[in-house]
Structures are given as C-alpha cells and as structure tokens.
C-alpha cells in the first residue's frame, strides 16, 4: 500500500506514480538490463517512445518463412536492413537462412564481425572507402559477397582485391524495375558477368534482380504479374550466361511481398526482410487468400508511447513525434479508429470520434509505416511476452552517421 511517507520517499527519488507501490528507478532497470536480469520488468517500467518486439509473433514469422522455403525448395538469405540486429540474424541463420543480406557496408561489417557467414551486400560499394571496406571483409571472410551494376566497380574491386592478395565473389545486379540500381538485362548483363568472370581476382557467384516495385503491388495476382515482368529478364540473362559457360548458381532477389511468387519465376533464393516485423504499408497489400489484408506475417514490432496531454475532447497528445518517425499512416494497436497526426519533433496527436477516452499517462502501441526508418532511430529492441520484458537486443549503432 502506498502511504504518504512511501509516496513522498518515492517522489524524492523521482519515481512516484499515484497508486504505484513499486518503485523501480530507471537507473536500476539499466543496471538490470546490463546484467541481463529481466525479472519483473514490464512495459510500464520503460521510458517512451521505445521499440517493442512481441516474441511469439516474431518467432511465428520466422518459422513461417523458413517453413515456406523448406516446403517449396527456394532458399532464404534474409535481409537485415529492417532489423540491423545480430540477435535476429542469428535466429534466422539457425532456422535455415543461408546467410544474411545487407544494404550498407556497415551492416556487412556488423554481421561478418559477429561471425555470420555468406553475407551478401545487395548495394554495390562505390568510392574508395566502401571498395576498401568490402575487400577487407572478403579478406576476413571468403564467403562474403557483393553485387555490382557497373564495370567500373568490377575493375576497382579487382584492383583492390589484387592489392590485398585475395579473390572475392561478385554478382551482377540486373535491373528489375527500380531505376535506382541495376545493369540492363540481356547483352549488357552478360557482358558484366563475363567481366567479373575474367577478372583475375574476382569470382562470379550468380546474379541478382530485386523488384522493389513488385514487392508492394496491391493484390496477389497483380503482384505475381509484376514480379514475373520485372524478374524474368534477369532469369533470361542468367540462361544466356549459362550458355556462355558462366556460373549462375545464385539467382537472388524477392521480398516479403513476393516470397510465395518468386520461386516459380526461377529465383533460387529470397532476400526478404520485412516479414520479421511487418509495417502498415505491407499489411495493406493483400495476400493470396485474403485480398484485404496481408496476413501471412504478423505485426510483431510496435512503438510504445505515452499519452502526455489530455485537454481537448476526442484528442490526446503522445510523446512520439517526428523524431520517432511518427507518420499519419501509422496505426494505433487495437484502436483502428484513431487518426494519427504529427505535431512536432516530440509530439504526436491522436484523434477519434467515438469510443474510450484515453487517460493521461496511458500507454499505447503504434504499428509503424516504414520499418527501416523506425528501427534506424532506436538503439535497442525490448523483447516482450505480453507485458513482460524478457530480453533486450541491441540495434546497430550509428556512430556519427545518420544511418549506417
């Protein structure tokens, strides 16, 4: 029971909550986390905004994807750009992922440094800094691979690999509908593959085609058509490469949206990423059996936020704003009726017409609109079983860069 004396003592310690008898100091929680002693820590104890991972839903997503790959014969090399977490990558590898895909050279350094083998860098390293870091990683781990969509990159990597006295593996990145990257399919793609193959210090590992347009196309049949249209030119380029005696063992691409489509088109492996957490953009694309909702994977990631002002009817202010990457397209968990607005760096506004009023200090959870952007803001995941925090996993630090 909270007496006036215990309340005042708690208040002096900065931890008083009317009606609260437990007095966890935040610093104690930090010490406990450092000791990995999570007993008794609940969501209520955490500072907000903070990232929550529902352990059961995450595990369901991971096992659904690995079960699909096992059953259909396509391999998985899961993309880590969404989670930037060694803990999650290790779980994916334990469940059968061949290795891990990375979007940035710093992600590659994190994963290779953590001992994860068969890492594929799905963005070509450009400029001296990234060329050298890529070659250093290949020297550290010969299973590390990168893609290239330009002969200049091939030549620079060949020279850097020669200077480092190693041989490294490259895959031509073939255009698949996204103008941000990719060498043209057909003769230019075959020429790039030949250039890699004939470079003394490089080896050809196969080809990549990532169809980012198909991934978020609404409607499963339309998505299937889009993916076929975007990826088939790479499959044909691979056939021409094979005819020319070139190695095409790896044909990689695909996404969460097309995971149950790309095997039939001819990819040998998937680089899907978002399926671990899911975001509001993905939840809307529709699945094979349900056109209204993409229910193959469950939303396992939320931003925990607190109501910090309640002075107007049917409106509440929360402590997640622009700095927490709040978007009007985010959704409040269990309150689909609520509309979200940005109200500044540290503030968001929730509005609703009918239904329960929110209370000052109340906790809510938000589904985010863009996983990569959200996870990039935080430095840890709180892994939860219901209200209980059962683990804390670090997210890759930024070390001076906006994103790494």
Ligand X SMILES: Cc1ncc(COP(=O)(O)O)c(C=O)c1O
Parallel, antiparallel, or unpaired: how do β-strands 331-332 and 363-367 relate? antiparallel
Residue from 86, 209, 272, 320 in contact with ligand X (CB under 6 A): 272
Q: How many chain residues touch ligand X (CB under 6 A)?
A: 14
How far is it, in rounded angstroms, from Cα 374 to Cα 23?
31
| Shorter beta-carbon distance to ligand X: residue 82 or 301 | 82
Count CB neighbours of 291 within 10 A.
13
Per-residue contact string for residues 51-80; x = within reach of ligand X by CB under 6 A = ----------------------------x-
Looking at beta carbons only, is 32 or 181 nearer to ligand X? 181
Half-sphere exposure of 72 (CA within 13 A, CB side): 21
Q: Does 226 bind ligand X (CB under 6 A)?
A: no
Q: Is 122 in the site for ligand X (CB under 6 A)?
A: yes
Give yes or no for residue 271 binding ligand X (CB under 6 A).
yes
Name which of 134 and 364 has its Cβ closer to ligand X: 134
Q: Residue 105 CB: number of other CB atoms within 10 A? A: 21
Piece in contact with ligand X (CB under 6 A), picked from 107-115, 138-146, 271-279, 375-383: 271-279
Nearer to ligand X, 233 or 257 (CB): 257
> Who contacts 68 (Cβ-Cβ below 8 Å, separation ≥6)?
259, 260
CA distances to 114, 145, 161, 168, 300 from 199, in Å: 30, 15, 10, 10, 45
SS3 content of the chain, % helix, strand, coil (to 5): 35, 20, 45
Nearer to ligand X, 294 or 347 (CB): 294
Residue (252 or 317) nearer to ligand X, CB: 252
Our finding on whether 145 is near ligand X (CB under 6 A) is no
Give least dist CB 181 to ligand X, A: 8
Polymer length of the chain = 404
Q: Residue 150: what are its φ and ψ, rounded to 5°?
A: -150, 135
Sign, CA torsion 236/241/243/246: negative
Which window, 17-25, 131-139, 210-218, 337-345, contacts ligand X (CB under 6 A)? Answer: 210-218
Smallest separation, CB 44 to ligand X (Å): 32
Q: Among residues 273, 287, 299, 321, which is the contact residue for ligand X, using CB under 6 A? A: 273
Residue closer to ligand X by CB (options 273, 286) is: 273
Q: Which of 82, 105, 174, 383 touches ligand X (CB under 6 A)? A: 82
Query: How many CB atoms neighbour CB 299 within 10 A?
Result: 19
Report CA dihedral (72, 73, 74, 80) to the nearest 10 degrees: 90
The binding site for ligand X (CB under 6 A) comprises 79, 81-82, 122, 210, 212, 215, 255-257, 271-274
């Amino acid at each position: 029971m909270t007496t006036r004396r215990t309340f005042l003592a708690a208040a002096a310690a900065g931890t008083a909550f009317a009606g609260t008898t437990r007095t966890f100091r935040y610093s104690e929680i930090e010490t406990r986390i450092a000791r990995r002693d999570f007993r008794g820590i609940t969501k209520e104890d955490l500072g907000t905004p903070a990232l929550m991972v529902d352990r059961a839903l995450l595990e369901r997503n991971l096992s659904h994807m690995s079960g699909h790959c096992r059953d259909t014969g396509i391999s998985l090399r899961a993309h880590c750009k969404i989670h930037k977490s060694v803990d999650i990558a290790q779980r994916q590898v334990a469940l059968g992922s061949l290795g891990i895909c990375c979007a940035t050279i710093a992600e590659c350094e994190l994963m290779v440094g953590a001992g994860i083998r068969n890492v594929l860098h799905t963005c070509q390293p450009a400029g001296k800094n990234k060329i050298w870091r890529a070659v250093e990683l290949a020297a550290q781990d010969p299973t590390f691979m990168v893609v290239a969509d330009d002969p200049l990159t091939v030549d620079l990597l060949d020279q850097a690999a020669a200077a480092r006295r190693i041989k490294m593996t490259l895959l031509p990145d073939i255009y698949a509908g996204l103008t941000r990257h990719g060498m043209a399919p057909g003769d230019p793609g075959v020429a790039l593959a030949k250039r890699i193959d004939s470079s003394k210090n490089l080896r050809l590992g196969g080809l990549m085609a990532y169809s980012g347009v198909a991934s978020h196309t609404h409607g499963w049949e339309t998505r299937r058509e889009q993916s076929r249209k975007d990826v088939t030119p790479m499959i044909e380029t691979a056939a021409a490469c094979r005819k020319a005696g070139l190695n095409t063992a790896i044909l990689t691409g695909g996404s969460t949206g097309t995971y149950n489509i790309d095997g039939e088109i001819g990819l040998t492996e998937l680089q899907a990423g978002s399926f671990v957490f899911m975001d509001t953009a993905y939840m809307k694309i529709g699945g094979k059996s349900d056109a209204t909702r993409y229910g193959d994977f469950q939303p396992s990631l939320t931003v925990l936020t607190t109501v910090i002002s309640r002075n107007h009817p049917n409106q509440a202010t929360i402590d997640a704003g622009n700095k927490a990457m709040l978007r009007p397209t985010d959704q409040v968990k269990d309150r689909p009726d609520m509309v979200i607005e940005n109200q500044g760096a540290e503030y968001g506004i929730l509005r609703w017409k009918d239904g329960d009023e929110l209370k000052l200090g109340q906790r809510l959870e938000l589904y985010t609109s863009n996983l990569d952007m959200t996870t990039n803001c935080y430095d840890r995941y709180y892994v939860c079983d219901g209200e209980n925090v059962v683990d804390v996993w670090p997210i890759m630090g930024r070390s001076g860069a906006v994103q790494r």
